[in-house]
Amino acid sequence: MFLKNAWYVACTPDEIDGKPLGRKICGESIVFYRGEGGAVVALEDFCPHRGAPLSLGFVRDGRLVCGYHGLEMGCDGKASSMPGQRVGGFPPVRRYAALERYGFVWVWPGDASQADPAKLHPLPWAEDPAWAYGGGLYHIRCDYRLMIDNLMDLTHETYVHASSIGQKEIDEAPPKTVSQGDEVVTSRFMHNISAPPFWQMALRGNGLADDVPVDRWQICRFTPPSHVMIEVGVAHAGHGGYDAPAGRKASSVVVDFITPETETSIWYFWGMARNFQPDDTDLTARIREGQGKIFAEDLEMLERQQQNLLAWPERSLLKLNIDAGGVLSRKVIDRLLVEERGQPAGRTIVPITAVKESS
């Protein structure tokens, strides 16, 4: 199940350039487009005339026109006009709180009156010219919590990503997990090791030798409703590791916005923000390509895992010490879901009944 009263990444701005976009988020069918003045608008993807998806229409002068019979919708969700017809009495469709910030379009699929922009996940690097970002989007058929598990336990890199970022030292370095309030942090530090292929490329991109021993770190931070930011990097060994000066390391933040579509599918917005060589567009492209391949390797594993869990719903998942980050993240989600259920009636919590975990 997922939280409704929270901000989720809905799309990137280019996805609504000149046309509406239909996307299901937390079980809600929503159409996104640019209304009057270019502001982002999010409406229920349902034409009040005959029920056609409004996302199959087009935008004209900041108004959404249904592609079936030409019903024109205002940004407030009310029908405004239709050729040769009176539509003033049509019932309005739901408008969702939405905004554009940090290079993403965000939506609040729950009670719009609670949609405070101050609750948006802060991304200071997105507004800092000393940082560069490149990313993409995958649609994955799995429970969003399985992706959180995946990102909060990077032990799988040794096996799933053996040719890019995986190495045996990840297995050998015990992780440490702490939980404070709504945040869960799992960290792992490795010392005096060889850099794997992806990080050799990153070192070269920062003008550093790639064939010397390095210290490596992974600091995974979960915050609700389903965001995981991972501080990662390598530094030439003996220069302070995570705290090494910029001229001795290549470090970045792996950006993971996991937006539930249904109980068993997600929109996965992935990327990497870095604070070295921010003006090197070729390096940004190479890192983006490398990251895209790495995340694609997770896709099949997660989808097949979901298939197994659906086939055997009575089987419980086992837990080891490496699973602490995912387990504690789920506890945060469960606690917030209980609190959300205590909100005024009208909010819908969608259960995932086909997947059973021990907790």
φ and ψ at 136, to 5 degrees? -165, -165
Chain segment 218-241, per-residue pLDDT in tens: 999 999 999 999 999 999 999 999
Domains of the chain by start residue, with CATH: 8-119 (2.102.10.10), 124-337 (3.90.380.10)
- For 102, which DSSP code? T
pLDDT for 340 = 94
pLDDT single digits (tens) 110-159: 999 999 999 999 999 999 999 999 999 999 999 999 999 999 999 998 88
Residue 343: predicted pLDDT: 53
**CA-CA distance, 146 to 150, in Å (whole number)?**
6
Share of the chain above pLDDT 90, in %: 82
Cα separation, 235 vs 212, whole angstroms:
10
Please give the structure tokens belonging to residue 186.
């799992």
C-beta neighbour count of 209 within 10 angstroms? 11
Work out whether strand 79-81 and strand 183-193 pair parallel, antiparallel, or are unpaired: unpaired
Is the pLDDT reported for residue 307 higher than 70?
Answer: yes
- Measured N-to-C along each axis, helices 144-152 and 324-341 cross at an angle, to the nearest 10 degrees, of 140
DSSP letters along 128-160, please? -TT-EEEEEEEEE-S-HHHHHHHHH-GGGHHHH
